[in-house]
Amino acid sequence: MTFRDGSSAAIRGTPGTLRRIMARLGNRLLPPGLRRNDKPLLPAKKLNLAVRNCRKALAEQGETQADWKTVRAVARRNAPAVVADRLEAFHGERPAGLHDLRLVSAFIGLQGCNEQAQRAYERLLVRYDPWLRLPEGLQVQGFCGAGVGHGSLNAYRRVTLNGQCLFEKIYLCENRAPIKQMLFAQRHLLPRLEGIRSPRLVHVAQGRCLAAAYFEWADLSVSQGKPLALAASLVRQLQRFDETTLPPEAALWVYQPNFLGSCRGQLLKLLGSEMPARAAAMPALLAQWQAKLDAGPRSYCHGDPSLGNLMADGWVVDWDGCGFLPRGFDAGNYLGRRHADLPWPEIVALYRQHFADPADPEADWRGFVFFFLHFMRAPASTQAPLLRDAFAALEEAMTGS
């Protein structure tokens, strides 16, 4: 990670001494948070698909109050074998690693609201992180959904604390970024945004590996409002913030170069398949462009303005990924995921109309095109022409200045 003053800190795995100890003592003796459990049991995409299939199967069976046994049975039939194995292991109350935790929490939300399931889930959390003290007087209403967060667990619960109805989200704290970024947004951004609301943070129970954050409950199940208008308002308001208008803390969370790197890989794959003739020259070209974006201006971004995070009445949730990112990130992310079914000129029109900074319409353009290409989810029929047009625009933008 690079700090504003130019210093950098590289966290590549655990420090050397620990690595040596690990090699000697084996994985099992380490505290759970440091356990080497490198490979996810199931890639995120597959995991989500498995959860979705299981939910569908449960609904078809008419199970609204499923217990853990039923969930496991359903998982056995509808998910890869590894899932059912790990769920059985959890039932056996064996110690769990991080990936176990992720997997179990993705499925545990399928249960109905029974006391046993809640206690089991809480035991799971505490076994993983013995320092986590869930607040006293917490009354659980039940699971209320599942997410796909990278920095948080997938099970969300609805709880009451001191008579107030709250929403519980468990953050993973190996890397404190998500929760800190969320706190930063709560403190400094949300009070300064107009027409944009987010559930307020009420309490944080902090452990060493996990932190449970409790937000005011808001009924966000209502139908979609005007996501385009909301996304535009969000992007334009966040554009106004730079390092001089936010408290110094903001500067800690500048974007991770690594992130751009992953963009590059994705892009290469897409473009390589489309323009094989130029594939060889592309890595160098992209590296050059990435350096340009790295050096370019940054603005504050939400980081994940997907449809699931933009609700009716101006509700915007999931601020875990916010921070200073290259300009145009949010706009490219939103339009790439939501409107990639339109032809390129219409996307440009949408961008100019709704997202471009009226004071300086060209400022975000390069970043926008770059991230649009990265996040683009176009239907197969229109993908090729869109890729070509957008890439041409990117080429022009990058070489033009």
79: left (phi over 0), alpha (psi -120 to 50) or beta: beta
Decide: is 194 part of the binding site for other proteins (CB under 8 A): no
Decide: is 345 part of the binding site for other proteins (CB under 8 A): yes
Decide: is 346 part of the binding site for other proteins (CB under 8 A): yes
187: left (phi over 0), alpha (psi -120 to 50) or beta: alpha
How far apart are CB 247 and other proteins at their closest, in Å? 6
Two tokens, residue 330: 């949010």
Decide: is 261 part of the binding site for other proteins (CB under 8 A): no
Decide: is 187 part of the binding site for other proteins (CB under 8 A): yes
Among 202, 218, 268, 282, binds other proteins (CB under 8 A): 202
Residue range at the interface with other proteins (CB under 8 A); choices 29-37, 104-112, 168-176, 338-346: 338-346
Among 247, 257, 265, 361, binds other proteins (CB under 8 A): 247
How far apart are CB 71 and other proteins at their closest, in Å? 26
Two tokens, residue 96: 């769990």
How far apart are CB 163 and other proteins at their closest, in Å? 4
Q: 98: helix, coil or strand?
A: helix
Residue range at the interface with other proteins (CB under 8 A); choices 1-9, 29-37, 310-318, 344-352: 344-352
Cβ distance to other proteins smaller for residue 95 or 343: 343
Cβ distance to other proteins smaller for residue 92 or 163: 163
Among 2, 37, 53, 206, binds other proteins (CB under 8 A): 206
Site size with other proteins, rule: CB under 8 A:
32
Residue range at the interface with other proteins (CB under 8 A); choices 17-25, 49-57, 299-307, 345-353: 345-353
Among 246, 275, 282, 363, binds other proteins (CB under 8 A): 246
166, containing H or E segment: strand 164-172
* 164-168: long-range pairs with CB below 8 Å, 24+: 164/202, 164/216, 164/217, 165/141, 165/216, 165/217, 166/202, 166/203, 166/214, 166/215, 166/216, 166/217, 167/199, 167/214, 167/215, 167/216, 167/217, 167/218, 168/212, 168/213, 168/214
Residue with tokens 């986590």: 132
Decide: is 62 part of the binding site for other proteins (CB under 8 A): no
User: Per-residue string for binding with other proteins, 118-137, x by CB under 8 A?
Assistant: -----------------xxx
Q: Which of residues 277-316 bind other proteins (CB under 8 A)?
A: none
Distance CA 179, CA 204 (A): 10
Decide: is 275 part of the binding site for other proteins (CB under 8 A): no
Of 3, 135, 117, 11, residue with least CA distance to 65:
117
Alpha-carbon torsion (54, 59, 65, 66), positive or negative: negative
Which residues are CB-neighbours of 331 under 8 A, at least 6 positions away?
235, 351, 355, 364, 368, 371, 372
Residues lying near other proteins in the complex (CB under 8 A) are found at 135-137, 161-164, 183, 186-188, 191-192, 200-204, 206, 244-248, 343, 345-346, 349-350, 353, 358-359
